[in-house]
Amino acid sequence: MSISRKAFLSSAFVAAATLLAPATASAQDLISFLWGGDQEHGGGRKTVSFPTSHKPGQVIVSFGDRRLYHVIKPGQATSYPIAVPREQSRWEGTTSVSMKRENPPWTPTPTMRAENPRLPSYVPGGHPLNPLGVRALYLGSSTYRIHGTDAPWTIGQAVSKGCIRMYNEDVMDLYPKIPVGTRVVVTWQRFNSEQIAAAEPEANRLTDAAQRAAQRRARYEARAFRNVSRSRSASIN
Q: Which of 89-98, 145-154, 217-226 has the lowest mean pLDDT?
A: 217-226
Given 41, 54, 70, 147, which residue is catalytic?
147
Q: Which of 117-131, 137-151, 194-208, 221-235 has the lowest mean pLDDT?
A: 221-235
Residue 163 catalytic?
yes
Beta-bridge partners for 187:
62
| pLDDT number for residue 135 | 97
Q: What average pLDDT does the segment 20-34 reach?
A: 43
Rg (CA), the chain: 19
Query: What are the structural domains of the chain?
Result: 3-232 (2.40.440.10)
Residue 54 catalytic?
no
How far apart are the C-alpha atoms of 224 and 120, rounded to whole Å?
Answer: 14
* pLDDT at residue 139 greater than cutoff 90: yes
How far apart are the C-alpha atoms of 78 and 66, rounded to whole Å?
Answer: 14
Say whether 41 sits in a helix, a strand or coil.
coil
C-alpha distance from residue 88 to each of 12, 43, 85, 159, 161 (Å): 30, 25, 8, 10, 8
**Average pLDDT taken over every residue of the chain:** 78
What is the pTM assigned to this prediction? Answer: 0.69
Q: 146: closest CA among 100, 179, 193?
A: 100
* pLDDT at residue 83 greater than cutoff 90: yes
Which residues, in sequence order, are CB contacts of 230 under 8 Å at separation 6+? 14, 17
Residue 100's CB: how many other CB atoms inside 10 A? 18
Comparing 150 with 31, the larger pLDDT belongs to 150
| pLDDT number for residue 176 | 98
pLDDT band with cut points at 50, 70 and 90 for residue 56: very high
According to DSSP, residue 193 is labeled: P
Positions of E strands within the chain: 46-49, 59-62, 67-73, 76-81, 84-85, 93-102, 135-139, 145-147, 158-160, 164-165, 183-187
Peptide bond into 22 cis (omega under 30): yes
C-alpha distance from residue 99 to each of 8, 139, 160 (Å): 25, 7, 20
Q: Which of 92-96, 104-108, 116-120 has the lowest mean pLDDT?
A: 116-120
Given 41, 54, 127, 163, which residue is catalytic?
163
Q: Which of 51-65, 111-125, 209-223 has the lowest mean pLDDT?
A: 209-223
* pLDDT at residue 65 greater than cutoff 60: yes
Q: What average pLDDT does the segment 92-97 reach?
A: 97
| pLDDT number for residue 197 | 56
How far apart are the C-alpha atoms of 153 and 74, rounded to whole Å?
Answer: 32
How far apart are the C-alpha atoms of 87 and 83, rounded to whole Å?
Answer: 12
| pLDDT number for residue 25 | 41
Beta-bridge partners for 47:
78
Q: Can you list the pairs that 201-209 forms with residues at least 24 positions away whose Cβ atoms lie under 8 Å?
A: 205/44, 206/41, 206/43, 206/44, 209/41, 209/43, 209/44
Q: Which of 20-24, 49-53, 87-91, 96-100 has the lowest mean pLDDT?
A: 20-24
